[in-house]
Structure 1
Amino acid sequence: MDYRFGVSLRAVDGQFAAKCRRAEELGYDVITIPDHLGAPAPFPAIVAAAAATGRTHVGPLVLNAPFYNPALLARDVESTVQLTGGRFELGVGSGHMKREFDDAGLPWWPAKQRIAYLESTLTELRERLPELPPLLIAGNSDGVLSLAARQADIIGFAGLKQAPGEPPGTFDLATADELAERVAFVRGQAERELEFNMLIQKVVAQEDPRAELDSWLPGYGADDLLAAPQIFAGPVEHIAEQVQRRRERFGFTYYTVFEPAMEDFAPVMDLVRSRPTA
């Protein structure tokens, strides 16, 4: 499977179209938009990203399914597929930030109920749409990943886990072993080839990234973060090697970085693509 690289854009402003064109120029395969209160409305931003580009795929990473009425979501998806010229990829999850549901006046259901709603939403989308676009399901729990193994084309990992005893949406970084276990859990249930996406939380493309890493995340020192599978840090050549090693260990062939890393990560993509893949 070939590598794919995406960038998550979190702000819509007067430079949005230019940023999308720049992402395509740099070689990104996918432009994604998050689904959070305080961030852009996903569907108009996705359509705008497609209008500004000619090749790049677009999509949400990821929609909070309980935010949406399934019948109305089907209408939005169908129109977006048409307006993007078939370059739309549908990313969904069950929702994980209680405060956003509270702010929107939506009920915060237990995880099992949110996952059931995600599954029923996907069922209704399949009933209402002529064809479902490529489907990414992101999550970390057994329930979401079991659903993803059955239904998704792409499995999305953020390498985050709920912090014990903290409010929903408060995360710790998963260790490499914990992430490997989650990947193995999906592989043990899937009966077809899947694409695995990793949402990279931080990129520090520097000869010595320690100073920046030390000040980045409270509770984590540079040594912890240099070993974290959600982080790319070091010279470009070293990061390109990390990309290959994480493919070998976890099976990741699709990586998404956040907008602040868009320029710094581009040379890594070029170097990775210049090397043969197994």
Structure 2
Amino acid sequence: MSDHKFRFGVVVTPEGGGTQWAATAKRVEELGYSTLLMPDGLQLLSPFPSLAVAACATTTLRVGAFVLAGPLRSPRAAAWEGHSLSVLTEGRFDFGIGTGRPEAQRFAEALGRPWGSAGERLRGVAESIEHLRELDGDRHTPVLVAAGGPKALALAACTADIVTLAAPPLAGRDHLAGMAATLRDAAGERAGDIEISMNLFAVGDDEIPPWTQKFIGADRATLAAHDSQTLVGGTPAEMADELRRRRDEYGLSYVSVNGSFLEQFAPVVELLAGT
């Protein structure tokens, strides 16, 4: 299904000061992860300076927004920030963007930015990518689009290098396979160039951290009962086998994991990264 080799990212946010954040970035790199990813929202530090610090603390680690909430910035401002970080990291930045989760509406209002309709938010994502390409010139900053519905998948199929399948937390195997098929159909000849990604909320057999349970509205048992694709359980070898199955079935090759499982998931990274 996919010719892409496995690679892995960690979704994490800064805690403490710059020294602690730099140490986190170094640890992510040491464990063999490809990318340090950071979410976007006013409850957090700004992703652009945070990712710049993480990149400066490491040598090969990629950094990326996961993902920018489009309405929080004008398309031109988002592209300007993204292009700047791409240049300063010497190409180690991935420009991740989406239309924003519902809770981002209050952030947009706090910033004096319009939230807009679903269609307007999607157009803002497209414009941000267009401006980034203009600023990049001969440079190519990889673009990651988080896409759930058909229209977002269609946009991602035309514009993205990486597409994160933004499925509901309880979505099972068939749902993800259907999304991937929709993406490939829309992408046509460039389907093979697109890296398919998704984020894991739960790893192994431990319970999900309380804040994550609140965020997704489910505990580990509920995820398991629905065959949620945001969960991989068992031993490292069993988890590796499951991810190979997902690559065969719907092309998943780029897997990001909740930062709470950074150490626990590292043996799976060791087994699969680059294979």
Deviations 1:38-58 (A, max 9, x none): 122010011011001000111
Question: Percent same amino acid among aligned pairs?
Answer: 35
Q: Which residue of 1 aligns with 2:13?
A: 10
1:156 paired with 2:167, answer: no
Structure-2 separation of matches of 1:224 and 1:135: 29
Q: Which residue of 2 aligns with 1:250?
A: 250
Structure-2 separation of matches of 1:104 and 1:231: 35
Structure-2 separation of matches of 1:46 and 1:189: 32
Structure-2 separation of matches of 1:88 and 1:220: 33
Ranked by relative contact order (alpha carbons within 8 Å, sequence separation 6 or more), the top structure is 2
Asked if structure 2 preserves the Cα contact closer than 8 Å seen for 1:158 and 1:230, the reply is no
Q: Which residue of 2 aligns with 1:134?
A: 142
Structure-2 separation of matches of 1:158 and 1:123: 22
Deviations 1:184-208 (A, max 9, x none): 11011112121001111111x24xx
Equivalences for 1:226-265 in 2 at 5 Å?
Answer: 227-265=227-265
Please state whether the residue corresponding to 2:93 is helix, strand or coil. coil
Number of residue pairs the alignment of both structures matches: 259
Structure-1 separation of matches of 2:24 and 2:265: 15
1:113 paired with 2:120, answer: yes
Q: Which residue of 2 aligns with 1:80?
A: 85
Unaligned 5+ runs, structure 1: 161-171
Structure-2 separation of matches of 1:117 and 1:147: 11
Offset, 1:13: 2.1
Q: Which residue of 2 aligns with 1:65?
A: 70
Structure-1 separation of matches of 2:23 and 2:238: 30
Please state whether the residue corresponding to 1:54 is helix, strand or coil. coil
TM-score normalised to structure 2 length: 0.86
Structure-1 separation of matches of 2:90 and 2:197: 23
Unaligned 5+ runs, structure 2: none
Structure-2 separation of matches of 1:202 and 1:114: 29
Counterpart of 1:257, as a letter, is V
Counterpart of 1:70, as a letter, is P
Q: Which residue of 1 aligns with 2:129?
A: 122
Structure with the largest fraction of helix: 2
Instruction: Provide the aligned C-alpha RMSD in A.
Output: 2.2
Please state whether the residue corresponding to 2:196 is helix, strand or coil. strand
Structure-2 separation of matches of 1:67 and 1:219: 28
Counterpart of 1:260, as a letter, is S
Structure-1 separation of matches of 2:131 and 2:222: 46
